[in-house]
């Protein structure tokens, strides 16, 4: 009897309240991935995913890039016994050099390297990361520890993960007004006014290198110059997030223009770049990325790299090997690189074509409102201007999935579904009133 009573589960409240996890707070669900899951489990035959930013073919299918497939075949054939070995903590050095050269515009051929280029490369400490999120994270940890900024400035709106990444480091967050809903353009005046008045020396400012996520609107070159000047004058630390190099415009140089402009400024600025290879190589799940910390030349590059490695080792030891091996092969081989450029052309031009197709269809339907922003925006996303109510109606009635802010991933459109999507937008706009943009 005694034994029986001892084995009875104790359901008294005093026992259950003993859990030290009792006060666990609610954690925000990631909207982008939750939406992707909802789409995946939707069984409706006409469903359309305009949520997560992944490239799709004209048939709505994933597209392993032909240049990537070529390397995968080579690797399979080679059957290298070292392919599952550990990488160094900083990552694969050949990959890192190629990633850096792509970002900053250095010629990769060592024989062509000028003394100025050699000197410029000495300013950059690079480590391999778990794609763009990992690069943003490693950068945030490093800067929170060593720069100790009073604030991090994030555009309003921005990729929601920027907020999460910096909140996790406990750095107080402020926002600069990026989007002018009235003109549907970059709020250059508001950005400059806010930063001029409120940003403090040593603050970090997160900048989207190109194809701003979610608005698809980038500063002009003149505006970039003014932002760089402001960063220099006020001693702000620019933190570029580069997730779409070559994917946005088709040109790796054009999409890196802002980063290279800041990098080449005199007097030299300290800055950093989080570089993702998810979109431009279609290697989403492979997690290929790099983080580049740029010094003004006074701080020892090796010392910076050692500090970055210290963080990486304590957190996850090193980035994965398989995807970076593919990127390394492609960037390091002239023919494969040319094939990759053709892949970039295919992806960037299809997205532009789909923007045009959606716009033309809305015009043909005489959908109330002005839709020119769809063709004027750049990169993977369109900030459609659809309201929350319209977004929810699209999901519930038409099985078309986009973010609550009205952000639509244009690559989810195809010749097969663009008429259906335009008609659905036309319906919800006629039912719920003309578009207006809410910044979430």
Q: Provide, rounded to whole angstroms, the least separation between the CB of residue 51 and ligand LMR.
A: 7
Peptide bond into 157 cis (omega under 30): yes
Whether residue 163 contacts residue 136, with contact meaning beta carbons closer than 8 Å, is answered with no
Closest to ligand LMR by CB, 153 or 401: 401
Other Cβ atoms within 10 Å of 273 Cβ, number: 29
Residue sitting closest to ligand LMR (CB): 53
Closest to ligand LMR by CB, 120 or 421: 421
Whether residue 355 contacts residue 375, with contact meaning beta carbons closer than 8 Å, is answered with yes
Q: Provide, rounded to whole angstroms, the least separation between the CB of residue 115 and ligand LMR.
A: 39
Q: Provide, rounded to whole angstroms, the least separation between the CB of residue 303 and ligand LMR.
A: 31
Task: Give, rounded to a whole angstrom, the gap between the first and last alpha carbons of the chain.
Answer: 61
Cα 365 to Cα 186, 303, 359, 361, 421, distances in angstroms:
28, 61, 10, 6, 12
Is residue 107 flagged as an active site residue?
Answer: no
Q: Provide, rounded to whole angstroms, the least separation between the CB of residue 243 and ligand LMR.
A: 6
Of 92, 241, 255, 343, catalytic? 241
Closest to ligand LMR by CB, 53 or 385: 53
- Placement of tokens 């369109």 in the chain: 382
Cα 425 to Cα 32, 124, 435, distances in angstroms:
20, 47, 10
Whole-angstrom Cα distance, residue 211 to residue 350?
15
Is residue 221 flagged as an active site residue?
Answer: no
Closest to ligand LMR by CB, 158 or 367: 158
Closest to ligand LMR by CB, 101 or 218: 218
Radius of gyration for the alpha carbons in the chain, expressed in angstroms and rounded = 24
Is residue 159 flagged as an active site residue?
Answer: yes
Whole-angstrom Cα distance, residue 291 to residue 358?
36
> Which residues here bind ligand LMR, judged by CB under 6 A?
32, 52-53, 159, 161, 213
- In terms of DSSP bridges, do strands 204-208 and 152-156 run parallel, antiparallel, or are they unpaired? parallel
Of 97, 279, 328, 371, catalytic? 279
Closest to ligand LMR by CB, 32 or 230: 32
Q: Provide, rounded to whole angstroms, the least separation between the CB of residue 2 and ligand LMR.
A: 57
Q: Provide, rounded to whole angstroms, the least separation between the CB of residue 327 and ligand LMR.
A: 18
Among 409, 403, 400, 371, smallest CA distance to 387 is for 403
- Residues labelled catalytic: 159, 241, 279
């Amino acid at each position: 009897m005694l034994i029986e009573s001892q084995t009875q589960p104790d359901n008294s409240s005093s026992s259950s309240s003993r859990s030290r996890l009792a006060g666990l707070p609610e954690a925000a669900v990631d909207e982008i991935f939750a939406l992707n899951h909802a789409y995946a489990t939707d069984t409706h035959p006409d469903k359309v995913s305009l949520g997560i930013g992944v490239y799709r073919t004209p048939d709505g299918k994933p597209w392993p890039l032909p240049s990537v497939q070529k390397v995968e075949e080579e690797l399979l054939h080679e059957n290298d016994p070292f392919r599952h070995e550990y990488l160094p903590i900083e990552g694969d050095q050949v990959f890192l050099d190629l990633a850096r050269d792509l970002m900053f515009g250095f010629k990769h051929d060592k024989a062509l390297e000028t003394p100025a280029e050699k000197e410029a490369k000495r300013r950059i400490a690079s480590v391999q990361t778990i794609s763009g999120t990992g690069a943003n994270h490693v950068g945030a940890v490093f800067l929170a520890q060593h720069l100790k900024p009073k604030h991090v400035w994030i555009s309003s709106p921005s990729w929601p993960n920027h907020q999460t990444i910096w909140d996790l480091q406990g750095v107080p967050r402020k926002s600069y007004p990026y989007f002018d809903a009235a003109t549907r353009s970059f709020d250059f005046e508001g950005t400059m006014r806010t930063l001029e008045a409120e940003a403090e020396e040593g603050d970090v400012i997160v900048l989207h290198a190109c194809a701003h996520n979610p608005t698809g609107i980038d500063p002009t070159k003149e505006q970039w110059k003014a932002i760089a000047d402001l960063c220099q004058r006020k001693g702000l630390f620019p933190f570029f997030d580069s997730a779409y190099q070559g994917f946005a415009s088709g040109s790796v140089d054009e999409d890196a223009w802002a980063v290279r402009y800041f990098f080449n400024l005199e007097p030299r600025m300290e800055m950093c770049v989080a570089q993702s290879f998810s979109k431009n190589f279609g290697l989403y799940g492979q997690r290929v990325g790099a983080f580049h910390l740029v010094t003004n030349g006074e701080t020892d590059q090796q010392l910076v790299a050692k500090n970055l490695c210290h963080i990486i080792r304590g957190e996850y030891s090193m980035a994965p090997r398989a995807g970076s091996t593919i990127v390394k092969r492609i960037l390091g081989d002239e023919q494969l690189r040319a094939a990759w450029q053709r892949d970039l052309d295919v992806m960037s031009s299809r997205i532009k074509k789909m923007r045009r197709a959606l716009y033309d269809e809305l015009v043909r339907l005489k959908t109330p409102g002005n839709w020119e922003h769809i063709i004027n925006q750049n990169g993977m996303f369109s900030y459609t201007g659809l309201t929350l109510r319209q977004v929810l109606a699209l999901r519930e009635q038409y099985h078309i999935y986009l973010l609550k802010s009205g952000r639509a991933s244009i690559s989810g459109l195809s010749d097969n579904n663009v008429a259906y999507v335009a008609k659905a937008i036309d319906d919800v706009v006629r039912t719920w009133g003309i578009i207006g943009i809410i910044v979430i």
